[in-house]
A and B are shown apart, each in its own frame.
Chain A
Amino acid sequence: MPRASARASGRQDAHPAVRALYDAYYGRLAGWTAKLLGDTALGHDFATEAFARLLRDYETVDEPQAWLYTVTANLVRDHWRKRGREQAAYQRVGQDVDGSWPAPDPATVITVRDVVLALPERLRVAVMLHYYADLPVTVVAARLGKSEGAVKRDLFDARRRMAARLEGVQ
């Protein structure tokens, strides 16, 4: 990471600093988002939006990399909410109406999108940031404005749900 804290050294000019972050992280962030959405163009679009917001808010951002992933995860969450795809996603991964998982088909290819979309909306951003972006719990908690305990409880709940689906699929 070019720098851990944008605020630490004070803001002289956000443009070169954000450009350095862009060179370092944009491609990975866009790919991370594209894989999550199954849409390369949207991956670019959301990564672009995150970096545009970073340019605007750079002075107040402490950990740009985690901040970028959090902004993007929220955009993804809002996108899913807007598109009302949850029901279709549940159907694709075969969740019963009572919430229990059917026996997994080992031949089924499950994507990260399937797994995250099958979770309740309240758990999705934490899972995206911790499991998929590999951010530590402490950082996720700080970014989401929650206590570490609350985030750990959410991740525990999510892990239980995901394990039931993923058991035997790998």
Chain B
Amino acid sequence: MTNTTHDAHHTDPVDEFFAAQRADVPTLVADELHWQRVLGRARRSRGRRWMRYAAGAAAAVIAGTVGWQVVGGGASPGPETSPVTITTAQPSPDRPPGTQRSTPPTVTSAPPATVPVPASFRLQSVSTAADRTLLALGTITCPGGTLCPALAASGDDGGTWRQVHVFTGAGVLPPSQAGRPGGTGVLSQVRFANTSVGWVYGGDILRTTDGGATWQDYPHAGGDVLDLATDGTDVVLTTADRCSGGTCSGTLRVLRAPITATSATDVAGTLGRGLTISAAPVSWHRGQAYVSPAAIAPAGVAAPGPVVLRADGLRAAGPASCGRGQGPTQLVAPAAGTTLFAVCPTGGAAGHLGYAVHASSDAGATWRLVSSEALVLVNAGTVALAAADAGTLLAVSGGGPDLHGSMALSVTGGERWQAPRTAPPLPDRGWAWVGAPGGSTFYAVAADPSGGYWKSTDRGETWAPLTVAGR
């Protein structure tokens, strides 16, 4: 850039320091996905501003838009492969913190019987709806070159896929930011309770009762939806207000509702005030729902740790010795067995972070330390964990384009960790998510834009890619 007044002082420590810092600035990826995100955010920003100014007329206009999109679906330009599934994930107008989100119901048209998944599909989230039935949420290229969230389904355990819905007008996140608060209008995650009922969320949230063919708005307490998990009977959500820049501010709300309910307006509990929240994953274990907030509290106030949702509210559930200012504690609920795990960072060096692993056999009432710093992951931004049972845990990190992340497997209940025997090739940005749907199966989703995901059927030892795009 331009020469400045401080260039003359070559031996000045301030000049030397900043010259070194400027020289060390990395050039991050400026690809099509990030450009699409710029376009999407600019579009939503215009929409939000317009809705504020339109005030009382907004509801009528939205209703009119829905009607046009349903009636005119066949005439409007469709996404590639031209499915007629047109829906409206309209950006909601800004609202005061803590207020209930309730927008006019979204009505969608029925999809054709079979629509192939476009080759441009880039997977972001996978959910198991039932034995051999999988749902995958990703992005596709829509008319005008923008990216839209799209849902694909498989009835043969990932062997073949069909596109079941396109969420035109909704926002997307880069895969490397999966799990972060996406902001108003974003849909980046999918969860299904069974083959009929499911949700897509990532800021906004929609619900389906027909396997993903049509979607309705899902009124809920609080603001942006951070995470959602279901045990097949109930669903638990975490929400927060004032989300931007990958974090939210204020109070974290935990909501619970039957999966048959058309809304989630009852607040089961709240955590903290004045928090800066970057994530609040929900997990179920033996009929109990757990929340593991990743939040920074105001000075002088302790950040909230993991909690379990009881009938009388939220109760602390994590090991007391976990965290200690090094980072958030994450509870890991195995797909089978009675053991609950807690994993928390203990310190780092040379671009890596060490983690302590704790285990509980009484639903988090008491904990024992399994290992301290046996688990070491590349400090690439985000960490995801999954457990198949009391003995098998999988940990991944990713998110940073320059650090690549890592994958580690423990078959000793978290005591010792090593790379899988035949690990999948490490994506440029590492891994965004891992899941354990049951049995000896693990799934892994890359933080890179990818047309599929990786699957292990031998407790994480060997892996094979599964392609969704173009199938």
Contact = CB atoms under 8 A, between A and B. Distances in A.
Contacts of B14: 131, 159, 162-163, 166
A52 B4 contact: no
B21 A51 contact: no
A135 B245 contact: no
Contacts of B5: 136-137
Interface in B399-434: 399-403
A12 interface: no
B37 A31 contact: no
Contact of A135 (B2, B25, B382, B400): B2
A139 B2 contact: yes
Interface string A115-143: 10000000000000011111111010000
A132 B21 contact: yes
Chain A, interface SS category: helix
A3 to B, nearest CB: 15
Given A43-B28, A49-B245, 7 more contacts: A31-B28, A35-B26, A39-B246, A44-B34, A52-B41, A132-B22, A166-B16
Given A48-B41, A84-B298, A31 B13 contact: no
A55 B296 contact: no
B39 to A, nearest CB: 7
A55 B298 CA distance: 35
B21 A112 contact: yes
Contacts of B399: 40-41
B177 A44 contact: yes
A115 B17 contact: yes
Contacts of A46: 245
Nearest to A30: B28
B38 A170 contact: no
Contacts of B174: 44
Interface of A: 18-19, 22-23, 26-28, 30-32, 34-35, 39-49, 51-53, 55-56, 65, 75, 79, 82-85, 87-88, 110-112, 115, 130-137, 139, 159, 162-163, 166-170
Contacts of A47: 28
Contacts of B168: none
A129 to B, nearest CB: 10
A79 B400 CA distance: 20
B381 A84 contact: no
A135 B1 CA distance: 7
B45 interface: yes
A27 B30 contact: yes
A40 B402 contact: yes
A170 B13 contact: yes
Contacts of B53: none
A82 B249 CA distance: 8
A136 to B, nearest CB: 5
Contact of A170 (B17, B29, B382): B17
B299 A131 contact: no
A157 to B, nearest CB: 12
B276 A41 contact: no
A86 to B, nearest CB: 8
A134 B22 contact: yes
A82 B400 CA distance: 23
B27 interface: yes
